[in-house]
Amino acid sequence: MTSTWYCALLRGITPGNPNMRNEKLRGVFDDLGFTGVASVLSSGNIVFAAEPTDTTALESRIRGALRDELGIGGGTIVRSRSELAALVGTEPFGELQHARETYLTATFLKEPLEPVPEPLPEPGGLAVRMVGYDPDARAVLAVSDNTASSSPDFMAWLERRFGKDITTRTWLTVHRILKRIPDHV
């Protein structure tokens, strides 16, 4: 059977914690029998190949192994390479470039946003503009101005609005993840 490439987006990874270092995280994925295991940056992005399966089952399996082997209780969100490629291909940010004044983010939700509010609610009082929601990748897209130091408040707003089963990555990180995942098995 042909394998599918995935990325596990792990929540709450702090590289200063010895159990959260990339080599230990990759070891858990290797122990689960996944192939092509690699890390992207040091913030909990692990790419791997596995038999095609329901991502909810993969998320549970990975989360359990991380808890049992390393004591990591944070969330796990899995997206396939094709889901990430489709998201990037929509070019949701248009001509905007990731910079201090235009900090582009994708917040991945564990569950689909249903119904999708039109327009997405804006986080009042924060220097953030909601760009949209991608239903296939289950991702909320936003642009924030970090010169206004609203990032911690924005993360708290995201949790209040969408729950704790989310994880946010910069648009640059999403691109780096996608570049790290082969487009073939």
Report the CATH superfamily, name and number, of domain 4-82.
Answer: SP0830-like domains (3.30.70.1280)
CA pair distance 167, 110, nearest whole angstrom: 9
Nearest to 17 by CA among 72, 77, 75: 72
In this predicted model, what pLDDT tens digit does every residue of 12-31 receive, in sequence order? Answer: 887 777 778 899 999 999 99
How confident is the model at residue 183, as a pLDDT? 81
> Is the backbone peptide bond immediately before 115 cis, with ω within 30 degrees of 0?
yes
Report CA Rg, the chain. 16
In this predicted model, what pLDDT tens digit does every residue of 50-96 receive, in sequence order? Answer: 998 889 999 999 999 999 999 888 889 999 999 999 999 999 999 99
